[in-house]
Structure 1
Amino acid sequence: MRILHILDHGLPLHSGYTFRTRAILKAQMARGWEVAAVTSPRHGKFDTDEETIDGIRFYRTPRVNSGPPVIGELREVAAFAKRIEAVARQWRPDVLHAHSPVLGAMAAQRVANRLGLPLIYEIRAFWEDAAVGNGTGTEGSWKYRATRWLETRAVRKADAVAVICEGLKGDLVARGGIDAGKIMISPNGVDLGLFGEPLPHDTALARELGIEGAETIGFIGSFYDYEGLDGLIEAMPALVALRPKMHLVLVGGGPCDAALMAQAAASPVADRIHFVGRVPHQQVERYYSVIDVLVYPRKHMRLTDLVTPLKPLEAMAQRRLVAASDVGGHRELIRDGDTGTLFKPDDPAALADSVAKLFGAREGWDSRRERGRAFVETERSWAINVGRYDSVYQRLAKIGAMEDSWSHTSVVSA
């Protein structure tokens, strides 16, 4: 089985997108499938047109001269499709696997039509809702509606569709004209080979951060508005009043850095809030080891109701306790009172009360940690998750074989 993945960007860049991609491709390779990837013009600078990183073969697409809205995106799609087609003619995949955003699906669909190849389109989040969550778009705007229309069109045209959670699937089916039977769930997962057994408590790091002997909560991830970190900082005075030894550790960065730091500096408990900044991915486990409870206070909006995050799974894999806002994406991952704690979203007082009660019930921590880890091992490990693609790929490969894709196409150099 040969699968050519169509990506917005990839390694060596670091993002949640690239880490999920790496996990999928490495798990597929472990099953004996042959995989390669083509990255879009949005990947940015690269050293060579073709390179192998972490054992994965990447083909690069040069940047495209920017243009006004719509024209610039169409240029990207045309250049991306040209590169995908050249690689496909050389490498001869059985299946094209495009990953969101929708520009990649549009480019891949052109190639699928030209070469008679089957296409699966995988959606990790709706581009239009992600723009709203990131503060770069407005719900209901012309751009929002146009992007939603393109997404729906891409789903209808693809031979199969994968989404990361039930929320996205339900939304697509509700749009009408989309067969629920062609949509599979490929949930977020953890590569336990890369992100496996947790480290022991790093006493030196705790001392360095000024949290030695403290009760600690924390967040490790990207600082976007929809993550609700302003609410977490707002909850800290009440939380310190309830738990006098409480400290908050924030690891990561993003568009909200400056605003969050200013808010924390003005807090009456500013000395209890520690900003670490971004850390190398290979160092992240050290920070998990010094945080008692990872808190995910996502705000209530379409994006957070429809999309499941990855970070709570990583925390559970590290045998850390998790507390999160009661939004749809979290409810697909966390069973309240069993594998984690859910609290009312957009309510700092509710956050403080729930987290304080969790610290007051330490007798149940060990068993909850083990249940969280077991959930990841049995339901969210990539070694298991990747098997969900098997039947879909087999069905699509048969379509390609019946259409005899390569009998009428010449091989050209990429």
Structure 2
Amino acid sequence: MRVAQAAAEALPPKLRPIVGSVAWPVARRARVAARKMARRMADGPLEKAKAQFVDGHMSAAIATLKPHARWPFIRRRMALYEGEMAAIGTNPIPPAPAVHVGDRIEGRVLHCVTNALPYTQAGYTVRTHRIVTAQRAAGLDPHVVTSWGWPMLQGHADATAGELIDGTPYHRLLPHGDIPNQTRGRITRGAEDVTELVRKLRPQVLHAATDHRNGSVAMAVRERTGTPFVYEVRGFLEETWASRDPARIGSERHLMQRDREAFLMRSADAVVTLAETMAAEIVDRGVPRERIHLAPNAVDDSLLTADYDGEAFRRSMNIEPDDIVIGSVSSIVAYEGFATLLSAAALLRKRKVKVKVLLVGDGVERPALLRQVDSLKLGDVAILPGRVGPDEALQAQSAIDIFVCPREDLRVCRLVTPLKPVEAMALGKPVVLSDLPALSELVGSDGAGLLVPAGNPAALADALAELSEDPERRAAMGEAGRAEVAAKRTWSRIAETYREIYRSITIQ
């Protein structure tokens, strides 16, 4: 290009346009060809690095790209991977000067969460809202702040900086200035904005819910403002991630995430979790048992006496009044084990046991389940209506005669307790669960549920057949489940637990 340009400038002015009209297209074509060649040369390393990163080998992915760093698009990808890796490293958020907050407002708590209602409807967001609603009813003053950029960066351009939901203020840290494309940059911005929010709100306590991104922000804000923080372990992110592919277990990302989560647990002023199985895992990560508090998945007290119109939901799904409905209301993901339930339903049909399968919800596994319904010829038995709203979800719970939670025997399922079986028990439904520690803990010892081996369609079919033919036992199990929930798993009880935790870490 430089040679063509110099040659054109050396010609008489009258000839320059003629030569230029030939030289410039040639130069442009040369530049385009060079870019295409660079892309082809880099495509192999780029794809290899992507596969390495997805499998958890982050340093290897960066090393694969490094020899090709002369290309800008390679440098951008390297920066993304480096930022993601740094976010789970030892010092993800740079230190900052202390901020004077002043007198704290008694009972005020700032919950730091990933996402929230109304934009995301999931077990995580529902738990957050039920916690803060119960805390407000108990006389505390909870506020919620979501992660930096959410939900605008997820496509909700109309999101506002704040909203009052059932009396609780929800704050959103909307993006401003340049927008980091990797986690370290976003949590660094989050720490800055949450620090400013703490200066304005003057809470007594920060309450961060997993994962490490919220925990890292809360710890950085504690260092800047002197506000103690509670870390609520609702799950183990690295185990959920590894459950999608066993080859990920022991990878660099798996181990780094585990170490970062463990560090946050040890660093927090108090740790809250959902079950004894989870508490035991946290103890294994170096936290003394006396610093761990249980706040299990729970329900509103009103659910114990609620009367949702399950019959109307059944009619809308063309389910007959005398049909025995087995199923679940849940996110449709692989570890929930619904493929096992469909296989059990096929066995029940062969035995002439008449049931309908109702699986309400959506998720990545739903297309595979629909294909399984076709292959097993269960189209007249299985109903998968997809996602429904929160009130309709409780109607669906009420429409089910036997609630099934057939989770796979994976580490994450052994550790973490789900919410939906608790709701089913509160509604007086018998539950059939995989015999895993986190699930057996749900039903207690008073006959509230049946436990069957995970991943065993025949054993599940046996249990369902037995219950489907015994309405008296179903009713007795339902009452036992309701009593178990009333005794241990209502939000009014859990709110008092939180009050005691906050008091224990704010007493001077």
The two structures have a TM-score, normalised by structure 2, of 0.74
Task: Give the structure 2 partner of residue 4 of structure 1.
Answer: 110
* Equivalent pair of 2:151/2:159 in contact (CA under 8 Å): no
CA distance in 2, matches of 1:335, 1:165: 12
Task: Give the structure 1 partner of residue 212 of structure 2.
Answer: 102
2:338 to 215, 229, 254: 229
Deviations 1:41-89 (A, max 9, x none): 263226221221221101111248353xxxx121121011111101100
Percent identity of equivalent pairs: 33
Shift in alpha-carbon separation, 1:166–1:15, aligned structure 2, 3 A:
same
* Equivalent pair of 2:173/2:193 in contact (CA under 8 Å): yes
CA distance in 1, matches of 2:316, 2:159: 38
Residues 1:21 and 2:128 are matched in the alignment = yes
Task: Give the structure 1 partner of residue 170 of structure 2.
Answer: 58
CA distance in 1, matches of 2:451, 2:150: 36
* Equivalent pair of 1:131/1:137 in contact (CA under 8 Å): no
Residues 1:328 and 2:442 are matched in the alignment = no
CA distance in 2, matches of 1:143, 1:137: 12
The alignment partner of 1:41 has SS state of: coil
**Larger relative contact order, structure 1 or 2 (CA cutoff 8 Å, min sep 6):** 1
CA distance in 2, matches of 1:166, 1:395: 21
Task: Give the structure 2 partner of residue 264 of structure 1.
Answer: 373
The alignment partner of 1:43 has SS state of: coil
Which has more strand, going by share of residues? 1
Deviations 1:370-392 (A, max 9, x none): 11111111210001112112222
1:319 to 402, 406, 428: 428
2:467 to 345, 349, 358: 358
CA distance in 2, matches of 1:194, 1:236: 29
The alignment partner of 2:136 has SS state of: helix
1:207 to 315, 324, 329: 315
Residues 1:128 and 2:238 are matched in the alignment = yes
The alignment partner of 1:270 has SS state of: coil
CA distance in 1, matches of 2:213, 2:165: 24
Deviations 1:212-233 (A, max 9, x none): 0322101111001000011111
Q: Which residues of structure 1 form unaligned runs of 5+?
A: 403-414
The alignment partner of 1:366 has SS state of: helix
Task: Give the structure 2 partner of residue 409 of structure 1.
Answer: none
Deviations 1:221-271 (A, max 9, x none): 100100001111111111123353211111111011111101111113332
CA distance in 2, matches of 1:244, 1:365: 16
Shift in alpha-carbon separation, 1:194–1:295, aligned structure 2, 3 A:
closer
Deviations 1:260-289 (A, max 9, x none): 101111113332111111111111232223
The alignment partner of 1:65 has SS state of: coil
Query: Per-residue deviation at 1:192?
Result: 3.0
CA distance in 2, matches of 1:25, 1:216: 34
Measured on the aligned residues, the alpha-carbon RMSD in Å equals: 1.9
Deviations 1:194-227 (A, max 9, x none): 685132541x443332320322101111001000
Query: Relative to structure 2, which stretch is displaced further, 328-337 or 47-56?
Result: 328-337
* Equivalent pair of 2:308/2:395 in contact (CA under 8 Å): yes
Query: Per-residue deviation at 1:341?
Result: 0.9
Query: Per-residue deviation at 1:136?
Result: 10
| 1:6-405 → structure 2 map (5 Å cutoff) | 6-12=112-118, 13-41=120-148, 43-45=150-152, 47-63=159-175, 65-67=179-181, 72-134=182-244, 138-176=248-286, 178-193=287-302, 196-202=305-311, 204-212=312-320, 213-335=322-444, 338-398=447-507, 402=508
* Equivalent pair of 1:251/1:275 in contact (CA under 8 Å): yes
* Equivalent pair of 1:98/1:104 in contact (CA under 8 Å): yes
Shift in alpha-carbon separation, 1:80–1:196, aligned structure 2, 3 A:
farther
Which has more helix, going by share of residues? 2
Shift in alpha-carbon separation, 1:374–1:121, aligned structure 2, 3 A:
same
Query: Per-residue deviation at 1:134?
Result: 4.9
Query: Per-residue deviation at 1:365?
Result: 2.3
Shift in alpha-carbon separation, 1:134–1:233, aligned structure 2, 3 A:
same
